[in-house]
Amino acid sequence: NEYKSYLSLDMKKRCHTPDKVRLLICTMYRSGHKVSEISRELAMCRTTVSTIVQQFKKTGKTSRVEWHGGKEKLSDRHQRALSRLICSNSNKSKQEILDEFNSISDVQITMRTFDRYNAKFKKRVVRKK
């Protein structure tokens, strides 16, 4: 089996497919092999091979696409404003602080976003009502 020599033995222990293997998959696909044939030949999951091929078709790149999470909901300025509200209104409920922030800010946030930033600030927990 000519392609297995390209694979490292520890590949299955990794969480991401190495770039060399991704390049091999794309090369095999471009030379006419089907996804199922490639997955069988390289002893890899068919969905992994299919995802790599789809990415290659879409972007033309064989390297892995980095994912850095979503965009921050609040700018530094809004984070400071929320932090000040939380510190200065510890006797208010979470909902009251959230409502106050949404009324004075041009950015509207949900309770879930409020909880995430409250945990990020490591502020003391505001009382629930």
Token couple for 30: 């471009």
6, pLDDT greater than 90: no
The reported pLDDT for the residue numbered 100 is 93
Please give the pLDDT value at position 66: 72
- Which pLDDT tens digit goes with each residue over 45-82? 999 999 999 999 998 888 877 766 777 888 889 999 99
Q: pLDDT at position 46, please?
A: 93
Q: Which residue has the tokens 């999951």?
A: 45
Closest CA to 22 of 32, 13, 11: 11
pTM, two decimal places: 0.48
**Lowest mean pLDDT, pick from 8-22, 47-61, 82-96, 100-114:** 8-22
Better-scored residue on pLDDT, 11 or 51? 51
Residue 127 pairs in a beta bridge with 93
Q: How far is CA 39 from the centre of its chain?
A: 26
Euclidean distance between CA atoms 20 and 17, whole angstroms: 8
**24 has pLDDT over 80:** yes
